Amino acid sequence: MNTESLFDLTGKVAVVTGGGDGIGRGCCEILAAAGAKVVVSDLSLEKAQLVADGIVADGGTAAATVCNVLNSDELKHLIDFTVATYGTVNILVNNAGMGGGGRENPFKIDRAYVERIYAINVFAPWELCKLAAPHMQESGYGSIVNITSMSSINNSPAMAIYGSTKAALNHMASNLAFDYGSMGIRINNVGPGATRTHALASVLTPEIEAKMLAHTPIHRLGEVSDIAGAVLYFASPISAWVSGQTLMVNGGGVQTLD
- Min separation Cβ 165 and ligand NAD, Å: 9
State which amino acid sits at residue 139.
S
- Min separation Cβ 251 and ligand NAD, Å: 12
Secondary structure (3-state) at 138: helix
141 vs 224, which CB is nearer to ligand NAD?
224
32 vs 67, which CB is nearer to ligand NAD?
67
23 vs 187, which CB is nearer to ligand NAD?
23
CA 60 to chain centre: 20
Listed as own residue / partner, the contacts of 122-125 with beta carbons closer than 8 Å and 24 or more positions apart are 122/165, 122/168, 122/169, 122/172, 124/17, 124/69, 124/70, 124/75, 124/94, 124/96, 125/94, 125/169, 125/172
12 vs 47, which CB is nearer to ligand NAD?
47
93 vs 139, which CB is nearer to ligand NAD?
93
233 part of the active site: no
What single-letter DSSP state applies at residue 150? G
Distance of alpha carbon 50 from alpha carbon 121, whole angstroms: 24
- Min separation Cβ 185 and ligand NAD, Å: 21
- Min separation Cβ 197 and ligand NAD, Å: 3
Neighbours of 172 (CB within 10 A): 19
Chain residues binding ligand NAD by CB under 6 A are: 17-18, 20-24, 42-44, 47, 67-70, 95-97, 100, 120, 147, 149, 192, 194-195, 197-200
Distance of alpha carbon 138 from alpha carbon 133, whole angstroms: 9
Give the CA distances from residue 53 to residues 17, 61, 62, 63, 99, in Å, rounded to whole numbers and listed in that order.
Answer: 16, 9, 7, 8, 29
List, in sequence order, every beta strand (DSSP E) within the chain: 13-16, 37-42, 61-66, 91-94, 142-147, 185-192, 246-249
State which amino acid sits at residue 129.
C
- Min separation Cβ 167 and ligand NAD, Å: 12
Enzyme catalytic residues: 162
